[in-house]
Structure 1
Amino acid sequence: MKIAVLGGTGLIGSQVVRLLGEQGHDAEPLSPANGVDLLTGAGLDEGLKGAEVVVNLTNSPTFDEKSPAFFQQTMDTMLAAAQRQGVGHAVILSIVGVDQVPGLDYYKAKVLQEDVLKAGPIPWSIVRATQFFEFVNAVLSWTSDAETVRLPATPVQPLASADIARAVAQVSVGQPLLGVHNVAGPEVFTLDELGRVALQAQGDSRTVVIDPTAGMFGVVPGDVLTAPADAEITTTTFRDWLAAQK
């Protein structure tokens, strides 16, 4: 099966391409590096030629009010090209609980991406994941100084990028779900607790303090970023992942 992977050179995309290749599929990474520009459509028809599935793992360059325009344009461009080339299945990666966080521009933009896909001409699947272990340090950096990291006590259920890549690859080779497949990690932390675990593992002596207003996750209500009842629960724990990074 030929599967075109937009964003196929990124953190998740490169792993999806490798997994699909190991399964015997013709997985082709499409990115500006090989002449495919999803904003303008340049190279896209050629990249999708002969593909049965298109997987969109691209991301907005910003998390602010500019992100909806990015997802609107790139999804419109992708779906039009996919229809012209006879692609039979379109897959995107989204976020668990994304439709329950109206206070975040980026989450609203991802909901828009989902809605454009659902309304489009191509049978579709959405994989929603919780936060990636790989992004924890970035989250800490948003609200930290030399001595202190400020984080809200928002419940999260993070997972390894390798585990979400496996889920995306599996959905990509199946029949279109016309629905959502949720994937989450095996453990629930509050974000401040997750920060303490990460800093301790890295030998970082900074103190984590709870600040309900700190960072983008301060506006997240309740436990909406944790696994819903129907979610696939992965097995890699955060501490095991941290140990493997050493």
Structure 2
Amino acid sequence: MKVAVIGGTGLIGSQVVRDLNAAGHEAVPHSQSTGVDVISGQGLDGAVAGADVVVNLTNSPTFDEASLAFFQTSMDSLLAAARKGGVGHFVILSIVGADQVPELDYYRAKVLQENILAAGPIPYSIVRATQFMEFMAAVLSWTADADTVRLPATPIQPIAAGDVAAAVAEVAVGSPLGGIRNIAGPEILPLDELGRITLSRKGDHRTVVTDPTAGMFAVVKGDVLTDRDARLAPTHYADWLS
């Protein structure tokens, strides 16, 4: 099966390409570095030509309100190219609970991306994942100073990028879901506790202060970022840190 992986040189995309090729498929990575631009449309027709499946893993360069325009334009361009190329399955990666946090511009943008795909002309699949373990360092940096890191106790169910890539690759070569598959890490932990675990394992002696107003995830209430009914990935956070 030939799979065009748009955003195929990034954190998830590069691993999706590797997994698919290792399984005997023909996965081709496309990105700005290979001459493909999802906003201008440059190179899109050629990228998806002859592909059975398109996997779109591109991401907005910002997480603010501008992300809405990014996903609108990129999805319109990609769906038009995929339809012209006769693509039979279109896959995107989204976020568990994205539709439950309208306060976050980026989450609203991801819901917009999902809705554009679902209303489009091509059979589709949406893979929703919980927060990537690889992003914990960035989350800690948002509200940190020399002595402390302030984090809310928001429940998080972190998943390793490698596990996300494996799930996306599996969906890509299967029959279109016509809906959503949720995937998550194997354990739920409060974000402040994840911060303490992370700093301890890295030998960082800063103190984590529980602050319900700190950072982007402060607006997230309850278990929005977790999904007990999701397919659980195998990698635990402590093992990933090791």
TM-score (norm. length: structure 1): 0.98
Q: CA deviation at 1:225?
A: 0.6
> Identity, % of aligned pairs?
67
Q: Corresponding residue for 1:222?
A: 222
Q: Corresponding residue for 1:35?
A: 35
Q: Corresponding residue for 1:239?
A: 238
Q: CA deviation at 1:235?
A: 1.2
Counterpart amino acid of residue 237 in structure 2: F
**Is 2:25 the partner of 1:25?**
yes
Q: Corresponding residue for 2:153?
A: 153
Q: CA deviation at 1:227?
A: 1.4
Q: Corresponding residue for 1:129?
A: 129
Q: CA deviation at 1:224?
A: 1.1
Q: Secondary structure at the match of 1:19?
A: helix
- Provide the rounded CA distance (Å) in 1 between the counterparts of 2:49 and 2:100: 37
Q: Secondary structure at the match of 1:67?
A: helix
Q: Is the 8 A contact 1:63 1:106 kept in 2?
A: yes
Q: Secondary structure at the match of 1:11?
A: coil
Q: CA deviation at 1:156?
A: 0.6
- Provide the rounded CA distance (Å) in 2 between the counterparts of 1:237 and 1:139: 18
Counterpart amino acid of residue 142 in structure 1: W
Q: Which runs of 4+ in 1 moved over 2 A?
A: none
- Provide the rounded CA distance (Å) in 1 between the counterparts of 2:69 and 2:215: 23
- Provide the rounded CA distance (Å) in 1 between the counterparts of 2:59 and 2:8: 11
- Provide the rounded CA distance (Å) in 2 between the counterparts of 1:106 and 1:228: 23
Q: Secondary structure at the match of 1:75?
A: helix
Q: Secondary structure at the match of 1:209?
A: strand
- Provide the rounded CA distance (Å) in 1 between the counterparts of 2:214 and 2:72: 29
List alignment gaps of at least 5 residues for structure 1: none
Q: Secondary structure at the match of 1:8?
A: coil
Counterpart amino acid of residue 116 in structure 2: V
Q: CA deviation at 1:228?
A: 4.0
Query: Number of matched residues?
Result: 242
Q: Is the 8 A contact 1:182 1:228 kept in 2?
A: no
Counterpart amino acid of residue 39 in structure 1: I
- Provide the rounded CA distance (Å) in 2 between the counterparts of 1:190 and 1:31: 35
Q: Is the 8 A contact 1:90 1:124 kept in 2?
A: yes
- Provide the rounded CA distance (Å) in 2 between the counterparts of 1:73 and 1:163: 29
Counterpart amino acid of residue 152 in structure 2: P
- Provide the rounded CA distance (Å) in 2 between the counterparts of 1:162 and 1:202: 21
- Provide the rounded CA distance (Å) in 2 between the counterparts of 1:235 and 1:80: 37
Counterpart amino acid of residue 157 in structure 1: Q
- Provide the rounded CA distance (Å) in 1 between the counterparts of 2:212 and 2:64: 20
Q: CA deviation at 1:174?
A: 0.4
Counterpart amino acid of residue 215 in structure 1: G
Q: Corresponding residue for 1:175?
A: 175
Q: Corresponding residue for 1:97?
A: 97
**Is 2:85 the partner of 1:85?**
yes
Counterpart amino acid of residue 186 in structure 1: P
Q: CA deviation at 1:15?
A: 0.1
Spell out the pairing of 1:191-210 with structure 2 (5 A cutoff): 191-210=191-210
Q: Spell out, residue by residue over 1:60-97, the C-alpha distance to the aligned partner (whole angstroms, 9 max, x if none).
A: 00000110000000000000000000001000000001
Q: CA deviation at 1:223?
A: 0.5
- Provide the rounded CA distance (Å) in 1 between the counterparts of 2:233 and 2:44: 33
Q: Corresponding residue for 2:109?
A: 109
Counterpart amino acid of residue 81 in structure 1: A
Q: CA deviation at 1:102?
A: 1.1
- Provide the rounded CA distance (Å) in 1 between the counterparts of 2:228 and 2:159: 14
- Provide the rounded CA distance (Å) in 2 between the counterparts of 1:128 and 1:228: 13
How large is the Cα RMSD of the aligned pairs?
A: 0.6
Q: Secondary structure at the match of 1:128?
A: strand
